[in-house]
Structure 1
Amino acid sequence: MSTEVTTGPATGPQHVVDASRPAAPPERTGSRLDDWWVRVMVTPGRERLWRWGGPIAVVVLAAVLRLVDLAHPHSLVFDETFYVKDAWTTWNLGYEAAWPQNPDAQFAAGDTNIFRTDGSFAVHPPLGKWIIGYGMALFGPTSSFGWRFSVALAGILLVLLIILVATKLFKSTLLGVIAGFLLAIDGHAIVMSRVGLLDGIVALFLLAGFGAVLMDREWHAVRLAAAIAARETPGPPGADGSATTRKPSWGPVIWWRPWLIAAALAFGFGASVKWSGFYFVAAFGVYLIVVDALARRRLGIPFWFSAAVLKQGPATFLLLVPVAAVAYLIPWIGWFRTDGGFYRHWAETSNGAWTGLLSWVPLPIQNWWHLEVAVYNYHVNEHTPHPYQANPFSWLFLVRPTQMYVAQDDPSLCGGQTCYENITSIANPIIWWCATAAIFYLIYRLVRKREWQVGLILMGMVAGYLPWLLYVNRTIFQFYTIAFEPYMILGLTFVIGLAIGSRGDPRWMRSRNLIVVGVFLGICVLVSAFFWPVWTGMPVPAWFLSLHYWLPSWR
């Protein structure tokens, strides 16, 4: 047997290698699934098919879950009593009008034009009602499918949008498809797409703004680097005589930021559905200044913080806030162009016109401002007890979901047993609780690793969730969480991506990780199938309904 003797450094140990023994083969990486996938994706056409086909399949699934039997029940569910009827008067009159006493039964029976022409006090801006009204105009006001169509369409687009956002954010079609799939099968997202409320529409606009901010990050970084490079000047020679450059002290102002303008429009339109959209304007306004400051520091700008706050900051403000304000005002055009809206002529009829320095303000603006103040006072003073109100500190733990509809059915529909139809806006508990755990992990990970993707996801949570903690004494509900659920799903998807790993992982590890993720997704599907009846109002026996009360507070 021949041997070779090798030596390391002069002071290192010697070792003997058996030259006749073959070298150990390298450890195999990836799983059999990876091997199969590589064989399948051998052509650009197949890769395009996956990039398009995967998202399309998930969107089709979301559409089926949101549109099938959407017309059931043919009665106004929960706050549809406000938004559906307000949508119809807004579509017809340009503003929310009053109705006779107890009109819901007549409305559901087809008497949809019994509204009056005097204005009704509506506590949310008009855009969401214009959007719901479009579905009613398209399918007819007597169609309960039409009452909910626009909201269902918003829910489907929300799934499409989270796929696009996740794919861009994580640079992975697979993770984009997983994010969309989780949102597509989650019960909270399903219910908020099948009931004619405003919150699903808000979620769509806010996620669109979030996606535009994501696009603006790259747009801004590339153009900032190019502009700084163009302004560099020769510096003193280095210690070794090499040439150096001197960075501009503050750096340039980047004015042309189309994605920032798109974000402003999206956030402004979101606020014109519900005021909670303004929190996104504020939160992401601060976020964009921080991102600009960090980009300037990485590029070597000496006064990077001052430049971000005092130079680029005002430009960012002008591109964001006024544009969002215009977007907020556009849907009010019906109120301004007509005379019947609530408080439309308040100043003229109540002798309340402004005097002094503000006397020049046109009366329509004064009247509109008085309405906005009245709406604000209503919101901050709304303390009427409700059996399904939920403290926002409990939202992340799914303590008190909102039951939106319950009716006792003919026992013959349930084999002679007591029979109920129920619609509860409860998330898939497995998805929700795992997403909550993921968000807490992301907070830890942001502190340890400072990954920008994690920071962006958490900013969505900051804008969508934290402001509600200021209103713990107000009457508020778990279903408001649809506005920030997409960011919980993105956080969960980020953790799933970590769990999956990469094809470069050892074979045993990669195979185990894929199995774990596959089992998790399979459990999510089974739980969604189990909860489907209580998301869609299917007739079920009382004993079966009781199986869905995993916590006492869910009853």
Structure 2
Amino acid sequence: MLRRPLPLAIVVFLVAEALFLIGLTVPHQFVFDEVHYVPAARALLTLDGPVNIEHPLLGKWLIAQGIRLFGDDALGWRFMSTLAGAVTVTAIFAIVWQITHRRRPSLVAAALTVLNFTVFVQARIAMLDGFMLAFLAAGIAMAAAALRNGGLARWAVAAALLGAATACKWLAAPYVAFAALAFVLLKREDPRRFPGLSTPVALGVLTLVSAVTYLATFAPAFFYRDAPLTLATLLPFQLEMFDRQTQVLPAHTYQSNWWTWPLLIRPIWYLYEPADGAQRGILLLGNPVIMWTGLIAVVACWWGWVRSGSARLLAAAALWTGSLAVWAVIPKSLGFYYYYYPSSVFIVIAIVVALDHWRARTRGWDTALLAASLALAIYFYPVLAALPLPAADAFRYWTWFPTWV
């Protein structure tokens, strides 16, 4: 039974969710950008009026549902993020299953995603990025299913998920264009792909469904007591959001350039202060074993595609490359390491696809990679899960380079 993808996916989801829930309510105070998004979620619960208008509503609405279910405390703020993290892990499993149709690389991908630090940290904080990536990864998985099995319904669901991802953060918007480009190129290369879907229909459905899904998530704003949206102001409001997104911001301690993120030059301390009666820290950092090995895997995928024309090597390499390249053109005055979050997850796909493609030569490498990744996860766990630290300067134990402080 567990050789089939659906039961395995359910197990992956439940295991990931259980891991993310451990110690979720520590600390009981706001962590990093929770100071922005929890008040915005509260405003959506009460419908008082617009708050944090530089971002769409869906991610903040999901945080609000956690507060509605569990109360206005640390569990309520963060619970929905744990579900988003578990969905992300499961979606990576599903994407690799669609690419390889093999159990081992799919499970290795899920395990590496959990051990990759970034998903663990983002699954335990009330920020928008976790929700965005959950919808985005699920949309990619559904599009991959449509590639093999066809069907307008699967493609429409993929489009809706991409629209929902954009409704969490605009960073997901380029992936709608990526999906359109991928469809055209893959369909042109082999007309048997996406059976039952013609290019005009597929592109039309992708555009319409993603746009309608995105706009529909603004429905709560029509019921604000103060400055409610109307049909006439919905589109102009998007321009106001754009102005907020592109404003020039003052310098920040943790700012960094996009090209530094894959090299782990400037991670972010989401927390480092006394909290809940102890010194605690939360470091947003990709697992170095996975991050640096992944760069080699991306190069190998590009090289393998040039040599063999393998579509799956191209897909794995292009997904990571595209997710990073958008930051070279996005008009943001400041960059931060957490913007690398999608890329830090997609790099896992490049690793397992490369290992699977050359599995005759790389037998056992996945086991060694998992072991090394687990060892570092245990080593860094105190500053991933906000465990009590022995002293105020304990951060030195985990800061390998001066730029990690």
Give the share of equivalent positions with the same residue, in percent.
Answer: 24
Say which one has the larger Rg. Answer: 1
Please give the alpha-carbon distance, in whole angstroms, between the structure 2 residues aligned to 1:327 and 1:333.
11
**Alignment match of 2:345 (pick from 480, 483, 486):** 486
Residue 208 (structure 2) pairs with residue 285 (structure 1): no
Cα 1:541–1:89 shift into 2, 3 Å: same
Equivalent pairs, count? 400
Cα 1:459–1:263 shift into 2, 3 Å: farther
| Gap regions ≥5 residues in structure 1 | 1-47, 94-116, 221-255, 300-310, 345-363, 414-418, 502-508
Please give the alpha-carbon distance, in whole angstroms, between the structure 2 residues aligned to 1:341 and 1:217.
44
Please give the alpha-carbon distance, in whole angstroms, between the structure 2 residues aligned to 1:377 and 1:208.
29
Answer yes or no: is the 8 Å Cα contact 1:128–1:198 preserved in 2.
yes
Residue 286 (structure 2) pairs with residue 445 (structure 1): no
TM superposition score normalised by structure 2? 0.92
Q: Aligned residue for 2:242? A: 376
Answer yes or no: is the 8 Å Cα contact 1:67–1:152 preserved in 2.
yes
Alignment of 1:291-370 (within 5 A): 291-296=186-191, 312-341=198-227, 344=229, 364-370=230-236
1:551 Cα shift? Answer: 1.9
**Alignment match of 1:137 (pick from 38, 52, 68):** 68
**Alignment match of 1:173 (pick from 75, 79, 103):** 103
Alignment of 1:38-187 (within 5 A): 48-51=1-4, 58-93=12-47, 117-141=48-72, 143-187=73-117
Please give the alpha-carbon distance, in whole angstroms, between the structure 1 residues aligned to 2:265 and 2:85.
24
Cα 1:436–1:176 shift into 2, 3 Å: same
Residue 324 (structure 2) pairs with residue 475 (structure 1): no
TM superposition score normalised by structure 1? 0.68
Please give the alpha-carbon distance, in whole angstroms, between the structure 2 residues aligned to 1:472 and 1:395.
17
Alignment of 1:192-211 (within 5 A): 192-211=122-141
Cα 1:488–1:459 shift into 2, 3 Å: same
User: Once the two structures are superposed, what CA deviation does each residue of 1:339-373 show, in whole Å capped at 9, x if it has no partner?
Assistant: 5247x4xxxxxxxxxxxxxxxxxxx3342223211
Equivalent residue of 2:329, what SS?
helix
Please give the alpha-carbon distance, in whole angstroms, between the structure 1 residues aligned to 2:352 and 2:11.
18
**Higher helix fraction: Structure 1 or Structure 2?**
2
Letter in 2 for 1:537: A
**Alignment match of 1:550 (pick from 375, 383, 400):** 400
Answer yes or no: is the 8 Å Cα contact 1:269–1:327 preserved in 2.
yes
Answer yes or no: is the 8 Å Cα contact 1:400–1:553 preserved in 2.
yes
**Alignment match of 1:216 (pick from 146, 152, 163):** 146
Structure 1 stretches of 4+ with a deviation exceeding 6 A read none
Equivalent residue of 2:54, what SS?
coil
1:461 Cα shift? Answer: 2.4
Equivalent residue of 2:190, what SS?
helix
Answer yes or no: is the 8 Å Cα contact 1:219–1:257 preserved in 2.
no
Letter in 1 for 2:65: Y
Residue 118 (structure 2) pairs with residue 188 (structure 1): yes
Answer yes or no: is the 8 Å Cα contact 1:283–1:459 preserved in 2.
no
Residue 272 (structure 2) pairs with residue 406 (structure 1): yes
Cα RMSD of the aligned pairs, angstroms, is 2.4
Equivalent residue of 1:279, what SS?
helix
Q: Give the stretch that moved more between structures: 526-535 or 81-90.
A: 81-90
Cα 1:373–1:55 shift into 2, 3 Å: closer
**Alignment match of 1:523 (pick from 372, 378, 381):** 372
Residue 386 (structure 2) pairs with residue 537 (structure 1): yes
Letter in 2 for 1:541: P
Cα 1:58–1:546 shift into 2, 3 Å: farther
User: Once the two structures are superposed, what CA deviation does each residue of 1:298-342 show, in whole Å capped at 9, x if it has no partner?
Assistant: 89xxxxxxxxxxx94432221110110000011111112445247
Answer yes or no: is the 8 Å Cα contact 1:289–1:316 preserved in 2.
no
Equivalent residue of 2:170, what SS?
coil
Answer yes or no: is the 8 Å Cα contact 2:246–2:331 preserved in 1.
no
1:408 Cα shift? Answer: 3.2
Answer yes or no: is the 8 Å Cα contact 2:283–2:384 preserved in 1.
yes
Please give the alpha-carbon distance, in whole angstroms, between the structure 2 residues aligned to 1:67 and 1:190.
10
Please give the alpha-carbon distance, in whole angstroms, between the structure 1 residues aligned to 2:225 and 2:189.
50
